[in-house]
């Protein structure tokens, strides 16, 4: 039997050591594995993140860091890339090609600033601003908003401090050759242009079944990913331009411009099969972006 005095001494030593450790410890991402901790969700390894494990091992969360900060702290994760240079990514694809899902993965992997002109324009419509009222007529008709309405907004946003320091992801912009030329004239250049390729028949099916939760903004699909909560299901709404008639108009507009835009970025363009699973698409995008960064 161990004497009580020894047990007390050992306990005091352990308490002393723990008190010297911060409540939240920073764990090297390169050492992380998807393991279960105290029946909590495991800590996934992710480029652009640092995971935190509490001292008692009961909590695990991941914080997205700007690319520069992350790579400065973990140089091995970014071997072959220039930490000081901001990363610029453009992702293009027809309506319902999966851009939203893949943008989430890109932001998680690289810590870049996600810029969606659609979100900005819809916010302007909801606010009833002059530019929002102008955009609403086009959006309700399923047409693209004219270049002059959005080019200035994008250029100003890219010049802000967070995009300059952390890099950026342009979601669905530029959509026309004129927009691409305007970006180039403003001195904006990207590292990788990602195109999600999905057949029109698949796109129409995806769009028509799409619904949005007005409370959270989360998008569901009535066939592929309906909500499990009946209350959520009851409040779902369909966007005014998510009908078959209007999506056909949007696809015609998209196809009329996308080839010219892809040609404008042919040196950095990568085509990804958007009909594959979201996980597979994300892995292909990650490989493509890393390849373009190594070429730069």
Give me the active site residues, please. 99, 175, 210, 239, 250
Residue 99 DSSP SS3: helix
Largest CA distance in the chain: 84
Q: What is the DSSP string of 52-113?
A: EEETTS--EEEEE--HHHHHHH-GGGGTTS-TTSPPEEEEEE-TTSSHHHHHHHHHHHH-PE
Cβ 209 vs Cβ 221: under 8 Å = yes
Tell me the pairing of strands 88-93 and 168-171. Answer: parallel
Q: Are strands 113-116 and 210-212 parallel, antiparallel or unpaired?
A: unpaired
- 3-class DSSP state for residue 41? coil
Instruction: Measure the CA angle with vertex 200, ends 194 and 202; round to 5°.
Output: 95
For residue 82, count other CB atoms closer than 10 A to its CB. Answer: 12
As a whole number of angstroms, the distance between CA 209 and CA 142 comes to: 16
Report the candidate in 79, 82, 42 with the shortest Cα–Cα distance to residue 60: 42
How far is residue 182 from each of residues 135, 143, 254, measured CA to CA in Å?
Answer: 19, 20, 18
Token pair of 32, please? 């992380």
């Amino acid at each position: 039997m161990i004497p009580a005095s020894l047990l007390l001494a050992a306990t005091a030593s352990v308490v002393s050591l723990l008190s010297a450790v911060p409540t939240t410890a920073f764990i090297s991402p390169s050492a992380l594995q998807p393991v279960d901790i105290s029946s909590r969700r495991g800590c996934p390894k992710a480029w652009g993140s640092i995971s935190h494990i509490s001292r008692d091992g009961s909590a695990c969360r991941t914080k997205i860091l700007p690319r520069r900060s992350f790579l400065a702290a973990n140089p091995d994760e970014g071997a072959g890339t220039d930490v000081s240079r901001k990363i610029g990514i453009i992702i293009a694809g027809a309506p319902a090609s999966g851009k939203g899902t893949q943008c989430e993965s890109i932001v998680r992997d690289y810590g870049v600033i996600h810029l969606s002109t659609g979100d900005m324009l819809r916010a302007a419509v909801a606010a009833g601003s002059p530019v929002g009222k102008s955009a609403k007529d086009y959006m309700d008709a399923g047409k693209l908003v004219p270049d002059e309405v959005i080019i200035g907004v994008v250029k100003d946003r890219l010049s802000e401090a967070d995009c300059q320091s952390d890099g950026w992801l342009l979601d669905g912009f530029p959509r026309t050759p004129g927009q691409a030329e305007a970006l180039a004239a403003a001195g904006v250049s990207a590292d990788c242009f990602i195109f999600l390729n999905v057949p029109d028949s698949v796109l129409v099916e995806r769009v028509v079944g799409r619904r949005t939760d007005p409370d959270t903004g989360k998008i569901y699909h009535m066939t592929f990913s309906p909500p499990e909560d009946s209350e959520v299901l009851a409040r779902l709404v369909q966007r005014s331009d998510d009908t078959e008639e209007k999506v056909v108009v949007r696809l015609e507009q998209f196809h009329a411009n996308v080839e010219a835009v892809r040609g404008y970025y042919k040196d950095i363009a990568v085509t990804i099969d958007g009909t594959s699973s979201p996980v597979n698409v994300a892995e292909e995008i990650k490989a493509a972006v890393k390849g373009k960064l190594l070429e730069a």
